[in-house]
Amino acid sequence: MKQTIQVLLCWAVTFLCLPPGNAQTLTRISANKDTLPTGAKTYVANIKVAGFKKIIGASFAVAWDSAVIQFDSIGNFGIPLSKNDHFGYINTVNGVLRFLWQEGISGVTLKDNATLFSIYYKIIGKPGSKSPISFVNIATSPTLEREIIDTTFATVNTEYQDGLVLIKSLTSPSVFANDPHKFRINKAYPNPFNTQLAMEFSLSEAGPVGIEIVDVLGRVVHTEQRSFLAGKQELLLPKSVFPSPGNYYVRMYQGTSFTLQPVILLQ
């Protein structure tokens, strides 16, 4: 609480010296929706941003089901952060991590889809269990709402997209899609593969599609963007875009629609 008051006072003092003009439209804070294989021991939730322009402060909390995933550590900072000064750990045992950061008067800008920070978890839930990765107010008594502040000291219009982690059971489908009527992977073949992977998918609208390859620790090891027509399409991924043999997820997204496919690269 003392730290929160100090930061708020710093923002108040900073406001007296703020440079004019930084119109913001929309900032997005998001977490991925991922399916983990049965037997997975760890998970990394990457907290990502978009429209993060000339930001001087942020406050929000990340919440999860502590019976499914257990907090381990934080890292992979996209901006200069301190584990001791910018995070509150007192309720991590109950599934809440608080984040409170203030930069100064110049503001920080990050590329779209950049990682703000990552949360590392241990998997303790049973196969078939799931946990949200939700963005909530930083405190309830007194209420401190989640907030993003820009260089005009204005509260930026922010969209918070919650994530989800699902531990796959023996009866779980191999493909996860949040809106299968708009975007879904129909099949990946051959899977396992050793030279080239073919992904057959369906799009309701033509346009650019983001493609990410993610390892079992949640690290993005390859990313690209391609444009496709509406309807059934095919994506070919050569062996060279995968760092080494092992288990991966191919995550594809268009706008707010996304789909996820587990794949295995053989020796």
Residue 252 CB coordination number (10 Å): 23
- Which of 100-109, 133-142, 201-210 comes out lowest in average pLDDT? 133-142
CA atoms within 13 A on the CB side of 104: 5
Residue 40 has pLDDT above 90, yes or no: no
- The pLDDT value recorded for residue 69 is 96
Higher pLDDT, 114 or 176: 114
- The pLDDT value recorded for residue 142 is 67
- The pLDDT value recorded for residue 23 is 47
Pair of tokens at residue 239: 């062996």
Domains of the chain: 2-167 (2.60.40.680), 176-265 (2.60.40.3080)
% of the chain surpassing 70 pLDDT: 86
- The pLDDT value recorded for residue 177 is 66
Cβ atoms of 100 and 107 within 8 Å: the answer is: no
44, burial (CB in 10 Å: exposed 0-12, middle 13-18, buried 19+)? buried
Nearest Cα to Cα of residue 247 among 30, 33, 39: 39
Residue 15 has pLDDT above 70, yes or no: no
Residue 9 has pLDDT above 60, yes or no: no
Cβ atoms of 214 and 251 within 8 Å: the answer is: yes
- The pLDDT value recorded for residue 64 is 95
- The pLDDT value recorded for residue 7 is 43
- If pLDDT is split at 50, 70 and 90, which confidence band does 216 have? confident
Q: How far apart are CA 209 and CA 227, in angstroms?
A: 6
- The pLDDT value recorded for residue 217 is 79
Quick: pLDDT tens for 78-135.
999 999 999 999 999 999 999 999 987 889 999 999 999 999 999 998 877 889 999 9
DSSP 237-256: EEGGGSSSSEEEEEEEEETT
- If pLDDT is split at 50, 70 and 90, which confidence band does 141 have? low
Backbone angles phi, psi at 12, to 5 degrees: -65, -40
Q: Give the DSSP H or E segment for 60.
A: strand 55-63
pTM score, whole prediction:
0.60
* For range 2-17, the mean pLDDT: 44
Q: Cis ω on the peptide bond leading into residue 238 (within 30° of 0)?
A: no
Pair of tokens at residue 215: 């390892």
CA-based end-to-end distance of the chain: 53
- If pLDDT is split at 50, 70 and 90, which confidence band does 36 have? confident
Per the DSSP assignment, residues forming a β-bridge with 213 are 222, 250
Backbone angles phi, psi at 85, to 5 degrees: -95, -25
Residue 194 has pLDDT above 80, yes or no: yes
- The pLDDT value recorded for residue 17 is 46
- Which of 31-40, 99-108, 171-180 comes out lowest in average pLDDT? 171-180
Residue showing tokens 């969209």: 159
Q: Give the DSSP H or E segment for 6.
A: helix 2-15
Q: What's 29's DSSP letter? A: E
Residue 4 has pLDDT above 60, yes or no: no
